[in-house]
Amino acid sequence: MRNIFLAVLLTFTVSCSTSRLAVPDQFSSQATFYPVKGAKVWSINQHLRFGNYTTSRIKRGWNLSSSIRYNNLWTSPQEVLLNIFDIETTKERNNEKGRFRYTLKNEHASAEIFGTEVLNSRNMVFNSSGLWKWMGETSLLTDYKYAFTAAIIPADTGKMGLWSLLMINKYDITKDTARRFFDKPYVEEEGYATNGKDTIRIRPLNLSTVVNRNGKVSNTLFKTKILSGYELSTADGVIGIIDTMDKSLWIYNHQEEHMKFIISAMGTAILLKQIEEPEARTTI
């Protein structure tokens, strides 16, 4: 129930106004802000544009999904108790895959980018009858594994190298340390991009503050933390920020042009992800 409510809460908090990630002045004063045009609405002829960067048409493969429901031969004591109250429980397994490709370029460089997403999740589904028929069907997410990979192949591989990007997050209800109603579920997350020599870390930004259309910083409803974007960093510090709410990029000014290009490639690939985290779309 907590995960289900948070999904509604996130939608209410973010979609009711044009919000964006609250970037600290210490970073924004030394970075360039790029609204990414074309990223907010998916279309068949989708292109992205920002600054002096443009992409080719985003070519997407089929988004394949499957779902199966089943019952275990062994019934747990909790399920037996629910059956007494006319609540039937079944297991549900969902699988989803997606992929895309495009070219990113500016006047100095270009690169082919290939992205792949894979999601495997399991739910406990409750069907009510008798006195509890009014509840209908509800579900509880029990675990999921999500992986996003991208290959960034610059035209000048001698200067930039071949880059691979990996983002993984996993959730297991048995390991969830969230206890209060508005706590964000505990999710194991890891992300990085590397060319074998240089490595860029990708850290999710789960924040309770946003900036509204008037530039005013405000708290989310009940100060609930929501996924607002990603921070890109090296051993020297933060070099970029991806705002997934406003579909925009912040790129640190004081770095080499080829690194700015790689950050742009990473940013566009992450903004083009389509498969959502399960707890962000679970409904009653």
190-214 tens-digit pLDDT: 999 999 999 999 999 887 676 766 6
pLDDT band at 128 (very low <50, low <70, confident <90, very high): confident
* pLDDT category of residue 282 using cuts at 50, 70 and 90: very low
105 within 8 A of 53, measured Cβ to Cβ? yes
Sign of the C-alpha dihedral computed for residues 40, 239, 185 and 66 taken in this order: positive
**Residue corresponding to tokens 């992800």:** 273
pLDDT of residue 215: 67
Give the DSSP H/E element, type plus range, for residue 158.
helix 157-160
Q: Is 166 helix (H, G, I), strand (E, B) or coil?
A: strand
What's residue 135's pLDDT?
Answer: 61
- Region of 30 please: left (phi>0), alpha (psi -120 to 50) or beta: alpha
* pLDDT digits 0-9 by tens, 211-254: 766 667 666 666 677 788 999 999 999 999 999 988 999 999 99
More confident residue, 96 or 89: 96
| Cα dihedral 96, 101, 104, 109 sign | positive
Are the C-beta atoms of residues 122 and 278 closer than 8 Å to each other? no
119 burial (CB, 10 Å; 0-12 / 13-18 / 19+) is buried
The better pLDDT of the pair 250, 141 is held by 250
Higher pLDDT, 244 or 128: 244
What is the value of pTM for the model shown? 0.80
| pLDDT single digits (tens) 41-54 | 888 899 999 999 99
pLDDT above 70 covers a percentage of the chain that reads 75
Report how far residue 228's alpha carbon sits from residue 185's, in angstroms, rounded to the nearest whole number: 15
B/e letters for 184-207, b = 16+ CB within 10 Å, e = fewer, are bbebebebbbebeeeebbbebbeb
Residue with tokens 């705002």: 243
Closest listed residue to residue 5, CA positions, set 144, 206, 141: 141
**Cβ atoms within 10 Å, residue 6:** 23
Q: Mean pLDDT over all residues of the chain?
A: 82
Per-residue pLDDT, averaged over 144-148, amounts to 95
